[in-house]
Structure 1
Amino acid sequence: MEDIARTLADQLVKADQLARLGEARKVMALAELASNYHLGLDDVVEVLAEKQVPVGDGAPSVSEYLCLEVAGLLGCPPSAAAGKIADAVNLRHRHPTLYRAMIELQIGADRACRAAHKCQDLPADVAEEVTAKWLRVQHRFGWTAAFNRLEKLVIDADPARAAAKERRQRKQLGVHVWGPYEGTMNLTGRLETLDAKYLDAAVDRLADILESEAPELTKETLRAKALGALANPAYALALLQRAAQPSLVDADATAPSDADAAAGLRRPDQHGCRGHLCGTITTPLHKLRPQLGIAVHLDVDALGDLEGAARIEGAGHLTLDSLSEMLRGVEVKVQPVIDLGDVPPEDQYVPSISMKQAVSLAAQHELFLYSNRTSRGLDLDHTRPYRPRTRGQTRVGNLAPISRRVHRAKTAGIWKVEQPKSLVLVWTSPLGYRYEVHPREGTRRVVEDCAA
Structure 2
Amino acid sequence: MFDCDLDDLDTTALLAVAAEYVQEQERAAVGVLRAALAFADRNAVVESDHGGPLPGYERLQVYGGEGCPGVAEFAPIELGAVLGMSSGAASSLIGEALALRHRLPRVWAAVLNGSALSWKARSIARACLSLSPEAAAIVDRRVAGIVNTVTQGALKKIVTAAVWQADPEKAQADAEAAAKQRGVFVTHSDPSDDHGTKRIWVRAATGDVIRFDATIDELARALNLLGDTDSLNQRRAKAIGWIADPEAAHNLLEVARYLARHEARRQQSQPAHPTAEPVGPTQAADPMRPMPDPEQGAVSEDAGEEHDGERFTRLALAATLQARLAAIKQDAYSNGSGTGSGRRGRHTLYVHLTDKTLATGTGVLRVEELGPLLASQLTELLGHEQVVVKPVIDLQDQVSVHSYEIPDRIRERVRLRHPVDMFPYSGAEATASMDQDHITPYDHAQPGPPDRPRQTSVDNLIPQGRLHHRAKTFGGWRNRRLPGGAIEWTSPHGFRFHVDHTGTHPCPHRRTDGGRPQPPAGS
Same topology, TM > 0.5: yes
Corresponding residue of 2:3: none
Counterpart mapping for 1:68-217 below 5 A: 68-137=77-146, 139=148, 141-166=150-175, 175=185, 178=188, 181=191, 184=195, 187=198, 192=203, 213-214=229-230
One-letter identity of the residue aligned with 1:53: Q
2:58 to 50, 64, 78: 50
1:447 and 2:508 equivalent?
A: yes
Corresponding residue of 1:266: none
2:436 to 380, 383, 388: 380
Corresponding residue of 1:398: 460
One-letter identity of the residue aligned with 2:68: A
SS of equivalent to 1:367: coil
Query: Highest CA radius of gyration, 1 or 2?
Result: 2
SS of equivalent to 1:310: strand
1:232 Cα offset (Å): 5.5
Corresponding residue of 1:262: none
Give the aligned length: 421
1:402 Cα offset (Å): 1.5
1:389 and 2:447 equivalent?
A: yes
Counterpart CA distance in 2 for 1:305 and 1:348 is 41
SS of equivalent to 1:339: coil
CA contact (8 A) 1:397 1:422 kept: no
Counterpart mapping for 1:418-429 below 5 A: 418-421=480-483, 424-429=486-491
CA contact (8 A) 1:366 1:403 kept: yes
Bigger mean CA deviation after superposition, 427-436 or 3-12: 3-12
Counterpart CA distance in 2 for 1:294 and 1:123 is 46
One-letter identity of the residue aligned with 1:125: E
Counterpart CA distance in 2 for 1:79 and 1:322 is 33
1:292 Cα offset (Å): 4.4
Which whole-Å deviations, capped at 9, do the CAs of 1:397-442 have from their partners, x for residues lacking one?
111222222222222251122223486321111221111112x221
SS of equivalent to 1:340: coil
Corresponding residue of 2:420: 365
Q: 1:185 to 1:352 in 2, by over 3 A?
A: same
Corresponding residue of 1:334: 389
Corresponding residue of 1:278: none
One-letter identity of the residue aligned with 2:58: E
Which whole-Å deviations, capped at 9, do the CAs of 1:251-301 have from their partners, x for residues lacking one?
7677799xxxxxxxxxxxxx9xxxxxxxxx977257689854311234448
Counterpart CA distance in 1 for 2:266 and 2:174 is 62
Q: 1:89 to 1:253 in 2, by over 3 A?
A: same
One-letter identity of the residue aligned with 1:60: P
Q: 1:325 to 1:250 in 2, by over 3 A?
A: closer
Which whole-Å deviations, capped at 9, do the CAs of 1:317-341 have from their partners, x for residues lacking one?
4454555786697442111222122
Bigger mean CA deviation after superposition, 421-430 or 82-91: 421-430
Q: 1:6 to 1:339 in 2, by over 3 A?
A: same
Q: Tell me how large the CA RMSD over aligned residues is.
A: 4.7
Structure 1 residue runs of 5 or longer lacking an equivalent are: 258-270, 272-280
Corresponding residue of 2:38: 32
SS of equivalent to 2:505: strand
CA contact (8 A) 1:54 1:62 kept: yes
1:104 Cα offset (Å): 2.7
Q: 1:133 to 1:344 in 2, by over 3 A?
A: same
1:20 to 17, 23, 26: 26
SS of equivalent to 1:348: coil
One-letter identity of the residue aligned with 1:46: P
- Give 1 or 2: higher strand fraction: 1
CA contact (8 A) 2:475 2:492 kept: no
